[in-house]
Amino acid sequence: MKLSQLTERCKIVAIHGEENVEVESITSDSRQVQKGSLFIAVEGINTDGHDYIAKAIEQDVLVVVYDKPMFEEYFSRVTYVQVENSAVALAQIASVWYGNPSEQLKLVGVTGTNGKTTVATLLYRMFRTLGYGAGLLSTVTNCVNDDSYPTTHTTLDPITLNSFLRKMVDAGCEYAFMEVSSHAIHQKRVYGLHFEGGIFTNLTQDHLDYHKNMLEYRNVKKAFFDALPETAFALTNSDDKNGGVMLQNTKAKRYTYSVKGLADFKARIFEKHFDGTEIEINGKQLIVQFVGVFNVYNLLAVYGVSILLGEEPEEVLRILSVLKPVAGRFQTLRSPGNFTAIVDYAHTPDALTNVLNAIHEVLDQKGNIITVVGCGGNRDRTKRPLMAREAVELSNRVILTSDNPRFEEPQDIIDDMVAGLDDEQRRSA
């Protein structure tokens, strides 16, 4: 593809070298540079792509895209393109390289602290069951119709992301559902994608190692909705105090869902069991195979999006009643010995509280709760004591451990958790 075509959406500051060269591949990883490559240098959290430009040139790179003025001399065989923002340019170039696939799909993004994986996955399953070609990009897996691919991040880098969207288009998908993390929004990974709609689930403490405070975290989430076009819809949880904030400056059509108050999509809860819950959505009763109020919110979001995408309410409710929980999200394992094991991804204080409260509601003081809980390494340390405290307060017995320590000592993670407990609480952990 011609360089001029690839960079047609970029804000270019200056170009040094031949502008009409033919690019054979694009990458933001200098290790993948080969003859004919376009290399985009992006400053990341731990490394800066600008530091690897010299290596890319050694590997016979054709074009270098960058945003930091740093060259005293230019090699005649290389074209240098200085842009206003390399991260933005990476997203724009990736989209053009793959033929702007998001514009050929009905792409729906799900953002929020908790519930992203469940909502995105259930939407994918809903639309596959309805008979549509559909794709999924999530923390657990990536899917193109019925083909699954391993995943590495909640939201992929722009090149990989657009390559998957291209696969979906080529496979005949009409819909795509994806998780949109705060990191991805802040790092411009979803910049320039054409969204049919966006969903806000909730906002609770997480990622403060990255965003520093809750205000910044909220504003990053809000930026996703600010960027939605007039043709899109924005659906938010109005029971979350930040739900209204997400809609303040969006150009998209605004909708809400709620369990507690008035909203476009409203649910009520009747009976709760380990095998499911009896609920009502917009006046229609059904039994679903999900447990917990938090899952009712997730199902309500799925219902709302399905209706906003033009599906019939009765058919959507029928499918909701047969959908099964997502693996690792309040996944119930029953034993003949009157024990029930529940596996849940709960990785924030709020998510853990929701899961344990849901168990209490079903048990109704007729059983004991033993909780095994851990926290991830090299992530927000401030939530560790909070999660330990919530676990102890809502359980009969707690086992503290680590969850993927990464580059930290497991014992250091446990020590941070124990710091949130008083002497009496430590005796039960």
pLDDT at 206: 60
Compute the distance between CA of residue 326 and CA of residue 345 in angstroms, rounded to an integer. 10
Please report which confidence band the pLDDT of residue 154 belongs to, taking 50, 70 and 90 as the band edges: low
pLDDT at 303: 99
Higher pLDDT, residue 367 or 136: 136
Cα angle 125, 198, 146 (rounded to 5 degrees) comes to 25
pLDDT tens profile 309-344: 999 999 999 999 999 998 888 888 888 878 889 999
Q: 71 pLDDT exceeds 80?
A: no
Q: 259 pLDDT exceeds 70?
A: yes
Q: Across residues 72-86, what is the average pLDDT?
A: 91
Tokens of 163: 């390559």
Please report which confidence band the pLDDT of residue 211 belongs to, taking 50, 70 and 90 as the band edges: low
pLDDT tens profile 275-319: 899 999 999 999 999 999 999 999 999 999 999 999 999 999 999
pTM attached to this predicted model? 0.88
Q: Are the CB atoms for 223 and 187 separated by under 8 Å?
A: no
- Partnered with residue 254 across adjacent β-strands are 234
Q: 205 pLDDT exceeds 90?
A: no
What is the rounded average pLDDT for all residues in the chain?
A: 94
Tokens of 107: 């792409």
Percent of the chain at pLDDT exceeding 70: 98
Q: 63 pLDDT exceeds 90?
A: yes
pLDDT at 195: 99
Give Cα separations from 61 to 28, 29, 36, 55, 80 (angstroms): 12, 12, 6, 9, 10
Give Cα separations from 428 to 133, 243, 395, 420 (angstroms): 50, 37, 9, 13
- Partnered with residue 285 across adjacent β-strands are 280
Compute the distance between CA of residue 200 and CA of residue 105 in angstroms, rounded to an integer. 20
Q: Are the CB atoms for 12 and 89 separated by under 8 Å?
A: no
Domain at 3-96, CATH from 1.10.150.120, 3.90.1640.10, 3.30.420.40, 3.40.1390.10:
3.40.1390.10
- Partnered with residue 189 across adjacent β-strands are none
Q: Are the CB atoms for 135 and 111 separated by under 8 Å?
A: no
Tokens of 172: 């005949």
Give Cα separations from 22 to 27, 126, 216 (angstroms): 15, 42, 41
Q: 270 pLDDT exceeds 60?
A: yes
Q: Three-state secondary structure along the chain?
A: CEHHHHCCCCCEEEEECCCCCECCEEECCHHHCCCCEEEECCECCCCEHHHHHHHHHHCCCCEEEECCCCCCCCCCCCEEEEECCHHHHHHHHHHHHCCCHHHHCEEEEEECCCCHHHHHHHHHHHHHHCCCCEEEECCCCEEECCEEECCCCCCCCHHHHHHHHHHHHHCCCCEEEEECCHHHHHCCCCCCCCCCEEEECCCCCCCHHHHCCHHHHHHHHHHHHHCCCCCCEEEEECCCCCHHHHHCCCCCEEEEEECCCCCCEEEEEEEEECCEEEEEECCEEEEECCCCHHHHHHHHHHHHHHHHCCCCHHHHHHHHCCCCCCCCCCEEEECCCCCEEEECCCCCHHHHHHHHHHHHHHHCCCCCCEEEEEECCCCCCCHHHHHHHHHHHCCCEEEEEECCCCCCCHHHHHHHHHCCCCHHHHHCC
Percent of the chain at pLDDT exceeding 90: 79
- Partnered with residue 399 across adjacent β-strands are 372
Q: Across residues 232-252, what is the average pLDDT?
A: 97
- Partnered with residue 342 across adjacent β-strands are 332
Beta strand 175-179 with 106-111 is parallel
Q: 141 pLDDT exceeds 80?
A: yes
Please report which confidence band the pLDDT of residue 379 belongs to, taking 50, 70 and 90 as the band edges: confident
Compute the distance between CA of residue 218 and CA of residue 331 in angstroms, rounded to an integer. 29
Higher pLDDT, residue 370 or 364: 370
Q: Domain 331-428 adopts which CATH fold?
A: Protein-Tyrosine Phosphatase; Chain A (3.90.190)
Domain at 99-322, CATH from 3.90.1150.10, 3.40.1190.10, 3.40.470.10, 3.20.20.70:
3.40.1190.10
Please report which confidence band the pLDDT of residue 253 belongs to, taking 50, 70 and 90 as the band edges: very high
What is the domain partition of the chain in residue ranges? 3-96, 99-322, 331-428
Task: Give the least confident one: 21-25, 89-93, 243-247, 361-365.
Answer: 361-365
Compute the distance between CA of residue 49 and CA of residue 62 in angstroms, rounded to an integer. 16
Residue with the two structure tokens 């909708």? 255
pLDDT at 210: 61
Q: Across residues 75-96, what is the average pLDDT?
A: 96
Q: Across residues 165-193, what is the average pLDDT?
A: 97
Q: Across residues 247-256, what is the average pLDDT?
A: 98
Cα angle 196, 200, 205 (rounded to 5 degrees) comes to 145
Q: Are the CB atoms for 198 and 133 separated by under 8 Å?
A: no
